[in-house]
């Protein structure tokens, strides 16, 4: 069985080519599964760290949509929704969600090929369930050769007895949402392999593969049935980040794929383009250090008016300041720079230019939502000795002090913004996309959102948001509650919001009103998160009543109390953060949500989440628990100027009423996490930018 | 294509709001990008460039550079703003800046990807004025690029110098006797080359092309008027 001619051919060529020294590391391209692969078969290649891609694959009788993420330099993850004709028990199309993981055991080095091990569809219904060990080697002329052994679906064509001796493989899993660990690497195995040629024609790649997938389920359902195990493909990248693929599958049918990809470390636009920092003049040693100015209120006002105007051009708003003869504290909010360290550095430069020579210490306090979060203490003399020098980054980090900010400034020598009452508005389009509901593979909408905010004081505001559905899934086939199925404007929020600080490291907020499009009530949250600590604790409690879908300000009869205790942890390892929420969900079910995210310093975030509650399997719907992946991309990644706006997309189950929480204002932790000492350390290079 | 994507995202996703001013630089960049994709305002007034003369340079009394980054860009004039410990910061009207130690670029801001800093060591003839006859065979440098630490990503190289032909080079009406110098730098698994036109008598660099980072194009600098403390 094993010694087929093709195997001998591949083995011979593979071994011969191994004898050549490596000229490049194994790179990767997307297959029809959206992960690193040939056409249907995997390779051992990996994408650049953080690479994120969306692939739409169209095959005879099935369609696949995949979100692929290079989680760590050697670990790749894929979440996929697929629609396969005739696989449901009633003969209709089956929508399925599946997860893949691949780990590159060794990278290519000299004669050694890259070797990887992987699991396909290990957390789904198992339609694509398969496991593999694969090796890939880069050769001269842009050629890469791949060979591997597969189990499960990847061992279904021309298989042989399990080389590990694990011959019994359970036929199927009970239901989706369960690990299929009892199947892994069991049953028959089979060889697969192929070639990939990165042609001299820029962007053009050609592929050929020998598949070990017999398409058993599709064939049984009367769908795609392969004639031969060979497939061929051509892929073209007209521009960076877009790949188009066309394939001739198994000697029978055509298939197509379209991939969009991006990398947080490779922004579309230059992240540093823009205004450079103001030059810093060192105070002359014999300069005037008198302190008389500090007693003169007009002088203080004049200085601060100039500072506020200069910082305004940097997207930094001065909330208040305290100007003492030798110490100045300035409280600022940063609305433009992605990295807060950059805003702090720019503020220090302006202070160095504007403050009288007697001032020796700058205390720069970062505000978020009207709350003072952290204070960076800068010694002016040391600052002057560091600016423009090669070791300024490290020395400035070693000389500044970061502390929890005091809730309020003292009353002496105080300067405050002239007007604390402000009205603002915004109009923004949004495209909420949710992949994989139980009844539909994707829901999408184009909404126009009109938002208003009346800031009554720095910590008290009235906020409202109305959204109008323009186009998308809102029709009789829409998935979701009755609140989603309307063409009328939706009042998705109208609340009075209060934020406050209970102690140096204890934050709080409350919101009263219409919290989201389904619920109204009273929402409160408290967070303990010292800036020098990489973890925090939070508690959120909400009393809600369900709103009347036919009346903007009406309520139904359903009411409940929901709430969660939360632990937040910034691991400091590869930008990985974790969050565990335990508590009671809106439907009265008790349970927890674990969210693990990789959050890059430029704000790009990919988060995987799973929610498990005491709701029964039958009640919960698709899978035994809620799960998915959320990608959040800062617009600065694509735009040629500084902005803190972002856009998000979610891949996940969203159809069950269980495991759901009330919307409304975001978590306090999201507001304060970027001011922690750890995040400041990672981004401090921007202090001088 | 990338500018097209950026503009489409810009127009599609930013929306509008109250109280968000646009910086002058943003306007300039936006105008540049929109002109690339053909949606810019063709009627926008363009300031006539002023012709630079040696007399105008002398009259200003300022140390001055002319710098160009990458191909197809217009050179910008940068004027010395500060001298902090021998590190001289030159800035353009758009507040983009280069910091130089001698003639070595030790930092860039707002131009390409920022070069955070460059650590130089004694005897580096690009950073410290040295007559060509006294140049060392090689020097060591450490470049600091943006990274996930206060120090950024450190890139250490060793650079050696190769002297070439001699000749003359004219910058804004003044002609200098120069020697061509090719500087070859090698790091761990990578390398780059700088090139200089060096005054045969003093070692002053009048024209220099330098590497400023992996993700940046090289910067080409003409020294219009050197800085003297």
pLDDT tens-place string over residues B101-125: 999 999 999 988 999 999 999 999 9
A3, A12, A10, A61: which is closest to A230 by C-alpha?
Answer: A10
State the SS3 of A430-485: ECCEEEEECCEEEEEEEEEEEEEEEEEECCEEEEEEEEEEEEECCCCCCCCCCCCC
If contacts are CB pairs under 8 Å, which of residues 612-641 in chain A contact chain B? 635, 638-641
Query: Which range among A125-129, A508-512, B59-63 has the greatest average pLDDT?
Result: A508-512
Total residue length of chain A: 689
Taking a C-beta distance cutoff of 8 angstroms, is the pair B144, A682 a contact? no
* d(C-alpha A206, C-alpha A412), whole Å: 73
Per-residue pLDDT, A627: 84
If contacts are CB pairs under 8 Å, which of residues 389-428 in chain A contact chain B? 389-394, 396-397, 422-428
Contact list, A275 vs chain B (CB under 8 Å): 23, 25, 94-96, 110
A353 interface with B at CB cutoff 8 Å: no
Per-residue pLDDT, A340: 96
Under an 8 A CB cutoff, do A647 and B147 touch? no
3-state secondary structure of A194: strand
Per-residue pLDDT, A42: 98
B212 interface with A at CB cutoff 8 Å: no
Under an 8 A CB cutoff, do B1 and A239 touch? yes
* d(C-alpha A638, C-alpha A604), whole Å: 11
A315, A316, A313: which is closest to A364 by C-alpha?
Answer: A316
A446 interface with B at CB cutoff 8 Å: no
* d(C-alpha B202, C-alpha B178), whole Å: 10
Taking a C-beta distance cutoff of 8 angstroms, is the pair B225, B172 a contact? no
B116 interface with A at CB cutoff 8 Å: yes
* d(C-alpha A528, C-alpha A540), whole Å: 12
Under an 8 A CB cutoff, do B84 and A239 touch? no
B117 interface with A at CB cutoff 8 Å: yes
Torsion sign, CA atoms A591, A596, A601, A605:
negative
Pair of tokens at residue A178:
């369960």
Indicate whether B10 pLDDT > 90.
no
The predicted model gives B165-186 an average pLDDT of 96
pLDDT tier, A2 (very low <50, low <70, confident <90, very high otherwise):
very low
* d(C-alpha A420, C-alpha B32), whole Å: 37
Segment holding A17, helix H or strand E: helix A5-18
Under an 8 A CB cutoff, do A273 and B5 touch? no
Q: Which residue has the higher pLDDT, B27 or A616?
A: A616
The predicted model gives B143-167 an average pLDDT of 96
- Percent pLDDT > 90 in chain A is 63
Indicate whether A169 pLDDT > 80.
yes
pLDDT tier, B44 (very low <50, low <70, confident <90, very high otherwise):
very low
Indicate whether B133 pLDDT > 90.
yes
pLDDT tier, A653 (very low <50, low <70, confident <90, very high otherwise):
low
Residue B122 CB coordination number (10 Å) = 7
For chain B, how big is the Rg over CA atoms in Å?
Answer: 20
B110 interface with A at CB cutoff 8 Å: yes
Taking a C-beta distance cutoff of 8 angstroms, is the pair A622, A610 a contact? no
Q: Which residue has the higher pLDDT, A257 or A61?
A: A257
pTM of the complete model: 0.85
∠ Cα A56 A58 A61 (to 5°): 140
Q: Which residue has the tokens 């090929």?
A: A113
Q: Which residue has the higher pLDDT, A109 or A274?
A: A109
The predicted model gives B74-80 an average pLDDT of 93
Which among A313, A396, A428 is the nearest to B23, CB-wise? Answer: A313
The predicted model gives A335-346 an average pLDDT of 94
Strand partners, A18: none
Q: What is the DSSP string of A573-590?
A: STTEEEEEEEEE-TTS-E
Contact list, B25 vs chain A (CB under 8 Å): 274-275, 641
* d(C-alpha A483, C-alpha A519), whole Å: 10
Taking a C-beta distance cutoff of 8 angstroms, is the pair A619, A658 a contact? yes
Give the lowest-confidence range in A359-373, A435-449, B153-167, B199-213.
Answer: A435-449
Q: Are strands A316-323 and A414-416 parallel, antiparallel or unpaired?
A: antiparallel
Looking at every residue in chain A, the average pLDDT score rounds to 88
Under an 8 A CB cutoff, do B117 and A391 touch? yes
* d(C-alpha B93, C-alpha A422), whole Å: 34
A3 Cβ partners below 8 Å, 6+ apart?
none
B113 interface with A at CB cutoff 8 Å: yes
Per-residue pLDDT, A9: 42
Q: Are strands A361-368 and A327-334 parallel, antiparallel or unpaired?
A: parallel
Complete edge-to-edge strand list for the sheet that includes strand B87-91: B104-109, B97-101, B87-91, B76-84, B64-69, B219-225, B205-210, B191-199, B174-186, B153-171, B138-145, B117-119
* d(C-alpha A104, C-alpha A146), whole Å: 14
Distance of residue B163 Cα from the nearest chain A Cα, in angstroms: 28
Taking a C-beta distance cutoff of 8 angstroms, is the pair A95, A87 a contact? no
Pair of tokens at residue A664:
């409304």
Per-residue pLDDT, A480: 47
* d(C-alpha A609, C-alpha A560), whole Å: 24
Under an 8 A CB cutoff, do A269 and B151 touch? no
A471, A490, A433: which is closest to A654 by C-alpha?
Answer: A433
Under an 8 A CB cutoff, do B14 and A280 touch? no
- Percent pLDDT > 70 in chain A is 90
Looking at every residue in chain B, the average pLDDT score rounds to 83
Which residue in A has a C-alpha nearest to residue B92's C-alpha? A276
The predicted model gives B14-40 an average pLDDT of 39
Give the lowest-confidence range in A172-176, A221-225, B22-26.
Answer: B22-26
Distance of residue B152 Cα from the nearest chain A Cα, in angstroms: 6
Under an 8 A CB cutoff, do B150 and A684 touch? yes
Surface-to-core class of residue B72, CB atoms within 10 Å of its CB (0-12 exposed, 13-18 middle, 19+ buried):
exposed
Indicate whether A21 pLDDT > 70.
no
Distance of residue B179 Cα from the nearest chain A Cα, in angstroms: 29
Complete edge-to-edge strand list for the sheet that includes strand A371-379: A401-404, A371-379, A361-368, A327-334, A316-323, A414-416
- Percent pLDDT > 90 in chain B is 70
B111 interface with A at CB cutoff 8 Å: yes
Which residue in B has a C-alpha nearest to residue A688's C-alpha? B116
Give the model confidence (pLDDT) of A276-293 as tens digits: 999 988 898 888 899 999
Phi, psi of A26 (to 5 degrees): -65, 120
Contact list, A387 vs chain B (CB under 8 Å): 84
Contact list, A349 vs chain B (CB under 8 Å): none
- Please name the residue ranges forming H helices in A320-427: 340-354, 380-386, 392-399
Give residue A501's region: left, alpha or beta (phi > 0; psi -120 to 50).
Answer: beta
* d(C-alpha A636, C-alpha A526), whole Å: 31
Which among B15, B97, B146 is the nearest to A276, CB-wise? Answer: B97
Mutate to test the interface with B, among A24, A109, A274 (most CBs of B within 10 A): A274
Segment holding B56, helix H or strand E: helix B54-60
Per-residue pLDDT, A52: 94
* d(C-alpha A378, C-alpha A327), whole Å: 10
A46 Cβ partners below 8 Å, 6+ apart?
A26, A28, A36, A70, A73, A74, A76, A102, A104, A107, A114, A116
Per-residue pLDDT, A469: 85
Pair of tokens at residue B178:
């120069």
| CA–centroid distance for A81 within its chain | 18
Under an 8 A CB cutoff, do B9 and A426 touch? no
Contact list, B97 vs chain A (CB under 8 Å): 276-277, 279
A199, A197, A194, A187: which is closest to A249 by C-alpha?
Answer: A194
Contact list, B1 vs chain A (CB under 8 Å): 238-240
Distance of CA A233 to CAs A197, A246, A249, A266, B19, Å? 10, 6, 8, 28, 52
Contact list, B106 vs chain A (CB under 8 Å): 388, 390
Per-residue pLDDT, B112: 85
Under an 8 A CB cutoff, do B10 and A425 touch? no
Q: Between chain A and chain B, how many beta carbons pairs sit less than 8 Å apart?
A: 168
* d(C-alpha A324, C-alpha A332), whole Å: 17
A500, A489, A424, A516: which is closest to A462 by C-alpha?
Answer: A424
* d(C-alpha B78, C-alpha A276), whole Å: 12
B76 interface with A at CB cutoff 8 Å: no
The predicted model gives B66-85 an average pLDDT of 91
Contact list, A685 vs chain B (CB under 8 Å): 116, 144, 146-147, 149-152
Give the model confidence (pLDDT) of A476-532 as tens digits: 444 445 556 567 889 999 999 999 999 999 999 999 999 998 999 999 999 999 999
Per-residue pLDDT, A651: 77
| CA–centroid distance for A79 within its chain | 13
- DSSP annotation of A36: B
The predicted model gives A88-105 an average pLDDT of 84
For A476, half-sphere exposure in the C-beta direction (CA atoms, 13 angstrom radius) is 0
Q: Are strands A590-599 and A414-416 parallel, antiparallel or unpaired?
A: unpaired
The predicted model gives B158-175 an average pLDDT of 96
Surface-to-core class of residue A130, CB atoms within 10 Å of its CB (0-12 exposed, 13-18 middle, 19+ buried):
buried
* d(C-alpha B205, C-alpha B196), whole Å: 7
Per-residue pLDDT, A434: 65
A286 interface with B at CB cutoff 8 Å: no
The predicted model gives B170-193 an average pLDDT of 96
A471 interface with B at CB cutoff 8 Å: no
The predicted model gives A592-604 an average pLDDT of 94
Contact list, B147 vs chain A (CB under 8 Å): 685
Per-residue pLDDT, A482: 59
Strand partners, A453: A424, A463
For B185, half-sphere exposure in the C-beta direction (CA atoms, 13 angstrom radius) is 18
Which among B6, B94, B119 is the nearest to A390, CB-wise? Answer: B119
Under an 8 A CB cutoff, do B142 and A390 touch? yes
Give the model confidence (pLDDT) of A612-642 as tens digits: 999 887 777 665 678 888 899 888 887 777 7
State the SS3 of B146-204: CCCCCCCEEEEEEEEEEEEEEEEEEECCEEEEEEEEEEEEECCCCEEEEEEEEECCCCC
The predicted model gives A410-437 an average pLDDT of 77
């Amino acid at each position: 069985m094993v010694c087929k001619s093709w195997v001998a051919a591949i083995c011979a060529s593979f071994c011969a080519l191994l004898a050549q020294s490596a000229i490049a590391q194994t790179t990767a391209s997307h297959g029809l599964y959206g992960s690193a692969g040939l056409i249907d078969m995997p390779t051992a290649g990996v994408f650049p760290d953080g690479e994120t891609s969306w692939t739409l694959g169209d095959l005879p009788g099935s369609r696949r949509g995949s979100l692929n993420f290079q989680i760590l330099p050697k670990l790749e993850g894929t979440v996929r929704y697929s629609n396969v004709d005739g696989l449901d028990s009633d003969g209709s199309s089956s929508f399925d969600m599946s997860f893949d993981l691949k780990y590159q055991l060794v990278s290519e080095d000299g004669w050694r090929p890259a070797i990887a091990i992987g699991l396909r569809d290990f957390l789904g219904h198992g339609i694509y369930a398969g496991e593999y060990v694969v090796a890939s080697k880069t050769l001269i002329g842009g050629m890469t050769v791949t060979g591997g052994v597969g189990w499960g679906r990847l061992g279904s064509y021309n298989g042989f007895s399990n080389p590990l001796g694990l011959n019994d493989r359970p036929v199927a899993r009970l239901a989706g949402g369960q690990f299929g660990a009892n199947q892994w690497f069991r049953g028959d195995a089979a060889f697969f392999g192929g070639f990939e040629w990165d042609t001299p024609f820029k962007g053009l790649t050609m592929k050929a593969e020998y598949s070990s997938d017999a398409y058993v389920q599709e064939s049984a359902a009367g769908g795609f049935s392969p004639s031969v195990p060979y497939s061929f493909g051509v892929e073209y990248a007209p521009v960076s980040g877009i790949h188009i693929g066309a394939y001739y599958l198994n000697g029978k049918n055509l298939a197509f794929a379209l991939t969009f990809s991006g990398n947080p470390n490779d922004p579309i636009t230059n992240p540093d383009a823009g205004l450079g920092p103001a030059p810093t003049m060192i105070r002359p040693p014999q300069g005037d250090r008198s302190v008389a100015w500090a007693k003169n209120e007009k002088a203080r006002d004049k200085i601060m008016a100039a500072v506020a105007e200069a910082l305004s051009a940097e997207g930094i708003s001065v909330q208040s300041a305290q100007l003492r003869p030798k110490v100045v504290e300035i409280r600022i909010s940063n609305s433009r720079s992605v990295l807060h360290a950059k805003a702090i550095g720019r503020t220090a430069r302006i202070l160095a230019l504007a403050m009288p020579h007697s001032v020796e210490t700058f205390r720069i306090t970062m505000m978020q939502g009207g709350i003072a979060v952290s204070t960076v203490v800068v010694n002016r003399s040391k600052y002057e000795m560091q600016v423009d020098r090669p070791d300024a980054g490290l020395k400035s980090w070693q000389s500044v002090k970061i502390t929890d900010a005091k809730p309020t400034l003292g009353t002496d020598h105080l300067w405050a913004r002239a007007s604390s009452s402000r009205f603002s508005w915004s109009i923004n389009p949004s495209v909420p996309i949710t992949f994989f509901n139980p009844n539909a593979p994707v829901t999408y909408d184009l909404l126009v959102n009109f938002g208003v905010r009346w800031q009554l004081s720095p910590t008290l505001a009235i906020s409202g948001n109305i959204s109008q559905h323009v186009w998308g899934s809102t029709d009789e086939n829409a998935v979701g509650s009755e609140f989603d199925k309307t063409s009328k404007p939706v009042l998705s929020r109208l609340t009075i919001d209060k934020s406050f600080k209970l102690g140096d490291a204890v934050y709080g907020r409350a919101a009263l009103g219409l919290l989201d499009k389904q619920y109204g009530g009273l929402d409160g949250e408290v967070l303990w998160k010292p800036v020098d600590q990489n973890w925090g604790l939070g508690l959120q409690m909400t009393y809600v009543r369900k709103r009347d879908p036919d009346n903007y300000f009406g309520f139904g009869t359903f009411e409940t109390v929901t709430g969660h205790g939360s632990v937040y942890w910034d691991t400091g390892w590869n930008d990985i953060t974790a969050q565990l929420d335990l508590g009671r969900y809106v439907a009265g079910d008790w349970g927890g949500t674990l969210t693990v995210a990789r959050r890059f310093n430029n704000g790009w975030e990919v988060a995987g989440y799973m929610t498990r509650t005491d709701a029964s399997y039958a009640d919960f719907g698709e899978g035994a628990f809620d799960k998915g992946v959320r990608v959040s991309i800062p617009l600065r990644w694509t735009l040629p100027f500084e902005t803190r706006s972002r856009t998000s997309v979610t891949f996940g189950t969203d159809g069950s009423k269980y495991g759901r929480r009330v919307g409304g204002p975001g978590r306090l932790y999201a507001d304060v996490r970027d001011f922690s000492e750890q995040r400041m350390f990672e981004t401090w290079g921007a202090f001088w930018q | 294509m990338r500018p097209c994507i950026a503009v489409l995202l810009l127009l599609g996703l930013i929306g509008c709001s109250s109280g968000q001013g646009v910086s002058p630089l943003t306007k300039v960049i936006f105008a540049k990008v929109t002109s690339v994709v053909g949606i810019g305002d063709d009627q926008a007034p363009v300031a006539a460039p002023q012709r630079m003369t040696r007399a105008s340079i002398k009259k200003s009394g300022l140390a001055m550079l002319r710098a160009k980054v990458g191909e197809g860009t217009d050179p910008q004039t940068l004027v010395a703003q500060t001298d902090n410990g021998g590190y001289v910061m030159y800035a353009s009207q758009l507040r983009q800046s280069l910091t130089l130690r001698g003639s070595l670029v030790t930092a860039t801001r707002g131009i390409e990807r920022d070069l955070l800093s460059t650590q130089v060591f004694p005897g580096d003839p690009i950073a410290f004025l040295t007559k060509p006859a006294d140049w060392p065979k090689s020097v060591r440098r450490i470049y600091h690029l943006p990274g996930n630490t206060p120090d950024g990503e450190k890139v250490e190289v060793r650079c050696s110098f190769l002297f070439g032909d001699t000749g003359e080079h004219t910058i804004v009406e003044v002609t200098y006797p120069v020697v061509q110098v090719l500087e070859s730098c090698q790091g761990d698994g990578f390398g780059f080359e700088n090139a200089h036109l060096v005054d045969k008598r003093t070692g002053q660099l009048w024209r220099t092309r330098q590497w400023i980072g992996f993700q940046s194009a090289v910067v080409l600098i003409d020294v219009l008027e050197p800085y003297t403390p």
